[in-house]
Amino acid sequence: MTAPIMKRFAALFFLILFSAAPSYAVEIKEVVSPKGVKAWLVQDDFVPLISMRFSFKGGSTQDPDGKEGLANLMTGLFDEGAGDFDSQTFQEKLDDVGAEMSFNADDDDVTGSIRMLAEKRDQAVDLLTLAVNKPRFDQAPIDRIRQQIVAGIKSSERDPNTIAGRKFAEALYGDHPYGRRSEGTEASLNSITHDDLATFHKHNFARDNLIVAVVGSISPEELSPLLDKVFGDLPEKAELETVSEAKLAFGQITRVDYVLPQTSISMVYPGVRRQDPDFFPAYIMNHILGGGTFSSRIYNEVREKRGLAYSAGSNLVTRDHMAALMVNTATRADRANETLQILKTEIAKMAKDGPTEDELDEAKKYLVGSYAVNNLDSSSAVASTLIGLQDENLGRDYIDKRAELINRVTLDQVKEAAKKLLETDPAILIVGSPQS
């Protein structure tokens, strides 16, 4: 049986089959701890390890004005001392246990993850519990990590594409927090104190903005008390600043003149939100236009037929407060204009006529079949997928429903999505030699 057939089958009989025989050998259980912490679990004993991933809504958009980089700096400090252990002791213990722990801030969330050997589970969870609940934010690690981040900022401050990116973001996002630098600036980082970090942690690490996913060699019964241990004592409610919707400034061109071997071109169009009923029509349209790695129209016209670029394509991006369709390529300076014209022509064609019936069929088959390959190939990948599904409120049965959601999209819906997104005059960024 081919995967797509199997998925249609599963979708039809979803109610009966879900718990007994999910089509993807991935059975998602919901575990709720005594204190009410929820997690999605995929139990799997193939490898004696456990991957846990969790996410707190908030992220860099929560950085106070003038303290840009706070969320990012905080994520560098969770393994730098917690509870009674200073930085050295904590890291030594983590190393002895053989667990890999990491934290990361993006614009909308702070995520954490840990990979541990099943046999060292309890020791690893103890350390994670300390990190999540009692990070110390000692001055010496703050200063060290801050300096490392500043060095990172400096290392790219003369890079023309970084400079251009900043200018473009400013033009695109205006005053919205998405336009700020999430790693901060030297000045903003220098203003951050221990108290800023402690307050940020308290406001952002709570129970009502938390999502948890666990994959690996652990049963629901074993997981339940661990959820309480790690997350059960966090504050009930997060204290988050409301973030407004980003209004992207389309219809403008940012040019950065710099003599470079290649000219890079970016074009930004409106996108659609994940929750929008038009999400899949737009997603399919993007796949046909520039999303497919070796199959899209842009790939064929720019690279395959003319050899103008190594990478050329488009990407549908959704975040909590914005959505956009972004087209990118980089080409030799003397053919940048030609390349830009080809992109514009392809986009206009898609806006006017949409895809063909054949293209739509191929795209659907790809998007249905690719899910397992793209999302389930390791326990970390499964854990990330579970976080994404929860974050977008897609439901535990989404993996089984997804094929049907894609297959029911009509050609007219895709054409409409193309018109809606691509008839907008885009924001354009061109970085390269002036004559182009």
Partner 1 sequence: MSFVLSRALAVFVLVGASTLAVVSFLPARADTVPQTAKAIETTNKDDVSSFYLDNGLEVVVIPDHRAPVVTHMMWYHVGSADEEPGKSGIAHFFEHLMFKATKTYPAGEFSRKVAEIGGQENAFTSYDYTAFYQQVAPSALEMVMTYEADRMENLILNDDVVKTERDVVLEERRSRTDSNPSALLAEEVNATLYQNHPYRMPVIGWLHEMQRLNLKDALAFYTKYYTPNNATLVVSGDVDLATVKALAEKTYGKVPRRAEPGKRERPQEPEQNTKRTVSLADPRVSQPSFQKMWLAPSYTSAKPGEAEALDLLSEILGGSNRSRIYQSLVITDGTAASAGAYYQGGSLDTGSFGVYGSPRGTATLTEVEAGIDAQIARIIKDGVTEDELEKARNRFLKSVIFARDSQAGMARIYGSTLSTGQTIQDIQEWPDRIRAVKVQDIQMVAQRYLVDSRSVTSYLMPEDGKPDQKSDNEPAEAQQPEAPAEGAVQ
**Which of positions 254-283 make contact with partner 1 (CB under 8 A)?**
260-262, 266, 268, 274, 279, 283
Contact 254, 164 (CB under 8 A): yes
Nearer to partner 1 by Cβ, of 232 and 295: the residue is 295
The nearest distance, CB 3 to partner 1, in angstroms, is 4
Contact 55, 210 (CB under 8 A): yes
Q: Does 338 bind partner 1 (CB under 8 A)?
A: no
The nearest distance, CB 151 to partner 1, in angstroms, is 3
The pairing of strands 322-332 and 262-270 is antiparallel
Contacts to partner 1 from residues 21-50, by CB under 8 A: 24-26, 44, 46-49
The nearest distance, CB 234 to partner 1, in angstroms, is 21
Instruction: Tell which one of 14, 29, 64, 117 touches partner 1 (CB under 8 A).
Output: 117
| Helix boundaries (H) for 269-320 | 279-286, 297-298
Of 157, 113, 122, which Cα lies nearest the Cα of 379? 113
Instruction: Tell which one of 135, 281, 313, 426 touches partner 1 (CB under 8 A).
Output: 313
**Exposed/middle/buried for residue 152 (C-beta within 10 Å: 0-12, 13-18, 19+):** exposed
The nearest distance, CB 334 to partner 1, in angstroms, is 12
The nearest distance, CB 291 to partner 1, in angstroms, is 8
Instruction: Tell which one of 154, 237, 247, 408 touches partner 1 (CB under 8 A).
Output: 154
The nearest distance, CB 137 to partner 1, in angstroms, is 14
Tokens at residue 240, please? 């988050």
Q: Does 370 bind partner 1 (CB under 8 A)?
A: yes
CA pair distance 323, 96, nearest whole angstrom: 43
Nearer to partner 1 by Cβ, of 111 and 209: the residue is 111
- Binding part of the chain for partner 1, among 1-9, 129-137, 345-353, 417-425 by CB under 8 A, reads 1-9
The distance of Cα 315 from the centroid of its chain, to the nearest Å, equals 13
Tally Cβ neighbours within 10 Å of residue 143.
Answer: 11
Instruction: Tell which one of 21, 34, 36, 152 touches partner 1 (CB under 8 A).
Output: 152
Tally Cβ neighbours within 10 Å of residue 146.
Answer: 19
**Exposed/middle/buried for residue 17 (C-beta within 10 Å: 0-12, 13-18, 19+):** middle
Backbone torsions φ then ψ of 184, nearest 5 degrees: 85, -170
Instruction: Tell which one of 201, 297, 303, 415 touches partner 1 (CB under 8 A).
Output: 303
- Binding part of the chain for partner 1, among 11-19, 27-35, 122-130, 178-186 by CB under 8 A, reads 178-186
Q: Does 408 bind partner 1 (CB under 8 A)?
A: no
CA pair distance 153, 68, nearest whole angstrom: 13
Nearer to partner 1 by Cβ, of 33 and 75: the residue is 75
- Binding part of the chain for partner 1, among 13-21, 345-353, 358-366, 408-416 by CB under 8 A, reads 358-366
CA pair distance 155, 79, nearest whole angstrom: 25
Instruction: Tell which one of 89, 310, 345, 410 touches partner 1 (CB under 8 A).
Output: 310
CA pair distance 181, 138, nearest whole angstrom: 24
Instruction: Tell which one of 127, 150, 192, 214 touches partner 1 (CB under 8 A).
Output: 150
Nearer to partner 1 by Cβ, of 67 and 229: the residue is 67
Instruction: Tell which one of 57, 67, 136, 180 touches partner 1 (CB under 8 A).
Output: 180
The CA-based angle 394-125-78, given to 5 degrees, is 85
The pairing of strands 81-82 and 49-57 is unpaired
Contact 179, 243 (CB under 8 A): no
Nearer to partner 1 by Cβ, of 9 and 24: the residue is 24
Binding map of partner 1 across residues 85-114, x = CB under 8 A, - = no contact: ---x--xx--xx-x-x--xxxxx-------
Backbone torsions φ then ψ of 380, nearest 5 degrees: -65, -40
- Binding part of the chain for partner 1, among 168-176, 196-204, 343-351, 416-424 by CB under 8 A, reads 168-176
- Size of interface with partner 1, in residues (CB under 8 A): 127
Q: Does 247 bind partner 1 (CB under 8 A)?
A: no
In DSSP terms, which residues pair with 31 in a beta bridge? Answer: 39
Contacts to partner 1 from residues 185-204, by CB under 8 A: 185-188
Tokens at residue 421, please? 């997104």
CA pair distance 24, 336, nearest whole angstrom: 45
- Residue carrying the six token digits 């009502």: 208
Nearer to partner 1 by Cβ, of 224 and 316: the residue is 316
In DSSP terms, which residues pair with 57 in a beta bridge? Answer: 109
